[in-house]
Amino acid sequence: MTRFLLGDIPVEVRFKDIQQVRLSVHPPDGHVRISAPRRIDMDTVRAFAMSKLEWIRRVQRRLRSQERTMLHAYLDHESHFVWGQCYPLAVREHDAPPLVELQHNRLLLQLRPGSRHERRRALLDAWYRQQVRQAVPPLIAAWAPMMGVRVGCLLVRQMKTRWGSCNPRSHDIRLNTELAKRPPSCLEYVLVHEMTHLLEPSHNHRFKALMDRFMPDWRQRRHQLNNPPVRQEA
């Protein structure tokens, strides 16, 4: 791995057996990562990064703004998103087993008296993870025969830099728990994206052509995924 400064922005570079340069800006702080073909030199990488400088700064500003607005205290009336809809959190302390339940106009979090912030967060994270686990199998059943692919194991977990990933050899797919906070169309887009990688591992012209064939509106879904509404705290 190599690093260089693009003005005041640190950039991490990894050379791989790929065909095209890939640049990505990752949450939560907007760090920049470039994957580059082994055949090109660092001057070419720097020039490519410089051509994307305005876009990098724009994405970094958006990520940092979202990070400031999306911290939670897990208290009554706090806003939380479930499948793209915003619900106030209702915290109820009872000497009974913990419970998270989406009701018609609120997200109920029931826990034992004195439960700390970490416990509240863990309960909600586990609930979001279960929402994704329940939503994905019907989607796989619908898309797999249409695309002509086989999906192995499905893993759902917190991921800091990706919405999903896959292993083309084992056909395993990993999805980010946070997808349960986005509209269902976003989950479907990420799943189809990763299933398409089972046919074409890189983001080349063939991959984009396959996505165009399977999901013609995938670019709109990607925009919706990466530009969520800002959460407002009560």
Alpha-carbon distance 184 to 84, whole Å?
A: 7
Same domain (yes/no): 60, 22 = yes
Tell me, yes or no, whether 233 lies in a domain. Answer: no
Domain containing residue 35: 2-69
Q: What's the rounded Cα separation, in Å, for the pair 105 and 90?
A: 10
* CATH code for the domain of 110: 3.30.2010.10
218 shares a domain with 147:
yes
35: DSSP letter: E
Residue that finishes a domain, picked among 69, 90, 116: 69
pLDDT score for 230: 43
pLDDT tier for residue 223 given thresholds of 50, 70 and 90: confident
Average pLDDT of every residue of the chain: 89
Q: In terms of domains, do 98 and 155 share one?
A: yes
**191 neighbors 136 (Cβ within 8 angstroms):** yes
In a domain, 231, yes or no: no
User: Residue 203 in contact with residue 189, Cβ under 8 Å?
Assistant: no
Q: pLDDT for 158-208, tens place per residue?
A: 987 789 999 999 999 999 999 999 999 999 999 999 999 999 999 899 999
Give alpha helix (H) positions in the chain: 42-51, 53-69, 117-147, 184-197, 205-214, 218-226
- In a shared domain, residues 199 and 92: yes
Q: What is the pLDDT of residue 70?
A: 52
Q: Per the confidence metrics, is the pTM higher than 0.95? A: no
Q: Quote the number of domains for the chain.
A: 2
Please report whether residue 74 resides in a domain. Answer: no
Evaluate if residue 12 carries a pLDDT over 70.
yes
Residue 234 lies in a domain: no
Report residue 101: phi and psi, to 5°: -145, 130
Query: In the chain, how long is the greatest CA-to-CA distance?
Result: 63
